[in-house]
Structure 1
Amino acid sequence: MSSAHFNRGPAYGLSAEVKNKLAQKYDHQREQELREWIEGVTGRRIGNNFMDGLKDGIILCEFINKLQPGSVKKVNESTQNWHQLENIGNFIKAITKYGVKPHDIFEANDLFENTNHTQVQSTLLALASMAKTKGNKVNVGVKYAEKQERKFEPEKLREGRNIIGLQMGTNKFASQQGMTAYGTRRHLYDPKLGTDQPLDQATISLQMGTNKGASQAGMTAPGTKRQIFEPALGMEHCDMQNVSLQMGSNKGASQRGMTVYGLPRQVYDPKYCLTPEYPELGEPTPNHHAHNYYNSA
């Protein structure tokens, strides 16, 4: 089985556009730096075409074994395609254990089928950064920041629960400067404009209303009418002391027939009830029947 069987044909349309954009991100200066680093560690020549020299995975496996001995147990020297793919797969597993993040690692087809050389270069740069972090002398890549773990005593952790972080705001710098009395205005002015500061902040301006000219002229007792008239129209003053009949009157009221509060009121009909006769002094008291009077109680 030839290697051409694993190579993809030319891309068209959107696939070609994506491939071209990925190819534009490829950095040839970084390639030269990676070439010098890998050849210096392994002692082997990669060749004129950088990616084709790494395609069989042999140099990659020897390279990771130099950085971390024993990472790849067996390196296949065969020219068979599946042996080369196996070497690339072993290299990917080894750099994952070495510390390279999974999102920085390329796939085997990116190198073997020449689909994404930019991702292969990014993986080698991430490997260089990890090697530099572990103390190796590398002239390419950046050193990762070292993890600094801090351990606090349980008492300190419990005390921190009672402290409000600055992200939640603070009132340390709060003051009542510029505050006015409750209900009064707060004057706003800009010192840059040269305007004078308000002299009296406790006085309400006339624009907010005033009670200086208020009086009780024309006011009547609570509950009584207030007559409204216009002198220019010749309207006469109304009598504010007398209540009109439209509002009711108590002129014809009397207390006739009223009894003492709490006593029963006698109800009778002259047709059925005898008129009571009161005896004069010295006369015997007439004997009336008990049904002559009916008590309403």
Structure 2
Amino acid sequence: PAYGLSAEVKNKLAQKYDPQHERELRAWIEGTTGRRIGDNFMDGLKDGVILCELINKLQPGSVPKVNEPVQNWHKLENIGNFLRAITRYGVKPHDIFEANDLFENTNHTQVQSTLIALASQAKTKGNNVGLGVKYAEKQQRRFHPEKLREGRNIIGLQMGTNKFASQQGMTAYGTRRHLYDPKLGTDQPLDQATISLQMGTNKGASQAGMTAPGTKRQIFEPALGMEHCDTLTIGLQMGSNKGA
């Protein structure tokens, strides 16, 4: 018996077991092999005899020797031969249960999934099976190497078109802007004394000579070489001491 976490996992796996699928699998296996499984479905498969007969019906000669269930190792050998046979038959390895899942009753849900996958593979191969799904067949195409080389020169519809307007030459936002045109062959940028078209122009009105609000005002003109006025002289900017 399982305890603790193992028991919890086993209970969750048991809840996924589908009784309807069991009835469908029972009808298919008994109809294919001609043998009755018994009242308990998993106990009837535990010795591996019916499983080996099933794969031998689907693909004759898959299990040449089926052991009579005298001892436990005979049963395990039958189950192992069945698992190897269905792998060669085409069942995917991730769909196949382990021998202990059936022999020790640890994961009947996985055993059921494996049998459904086997039924699906049998249906794909043309057998009349009432459960499972039919797998899609490969549709391979072979092209001449010359055709493959020609395809490299064709622009697919998913790639759009190279006609009409494009973003060639546009500058993305935040990209560094050059003061020279690389297309003209000028390796070095323009000197600092040259104003490019991207920087505007130095003609027309400007803010040269304007004083920002709150800036200290000088009473002399540095450009004319004038010295500071003495404290006894009233400059023109200070108004006049005449009049009322």
TM-score by length of 1: 0.57
Output the amino acid matched with 1:69. Answer: P
The total of aligned residue pairs comes to: 191
Deviation at 1:159, TM superposition (A): 1.8
2:148 corresponds to 1:157: yes
Question: How many angstroms apart in 2 are the aligned matches of 1:63 and 1:24?
Answer: 27
Q: RMSD in angstroms over aligned alpha carbons?
A: 3.3
Question: How many angstroms apart in 2 are the aligned matches of 1:38 and 1:62?
Answer: 9
Question: How many angstroms apart in 1 are the aligned matches of 2:113 and 2:17?
Answer: 9
| CA deviation string 1:12-65 (max 9, x = no partner) | 111011101110111110010000000001111001100000000111111111
Q: What is the aligned partner in structure 1 of residue 22 from structure 2?
A: 31
Residues 234, 165 of structure 1: alpha-carbon distance in 2 compared, 3 angstrom cutoff: closer
Q: How does 1:1-297 map to 2 (within 5 A)?
A: 10-164=1-155, 169-171=159-161, 175=165, 215=205, 243=225
| CA deviation string 1:249-297 (max 9, x = no partner) | xxxxxxxxxxxxxxxxxxxxxxxxxxxxxxxxxxxxxxxxxxxxxxxxx
Question: How many angstroms apart in 2 are the aligned matches of 1:101 and 1:118?
Answer: 17
Identity of aligned residues (%): 71
Larger Rg: 1
Q: Which one has a larger percent helix, Structure 1 or Structure 2?
A: 2
SS class of match (2:147): helix
Moved over 2 A (4+): 160-167, 169-176, 233-236, 242-246
Output the amino acid matched with 1:78. Answer: P
SS class of match (1:23): helix
| CA deviation string 1:54-102 (max 9, x = no partner) | 0001111111111000111011123211111111111011101111011
Structure 1: stretches of 5+ with no match in the other structure: 1-9, 184-210, 220-225, 247-297
Output the amino acid matched with 1:159. Answer: E
Deviation at 1:165, TM superposition (A): 5.1
TM-score by length of 2: 0.69
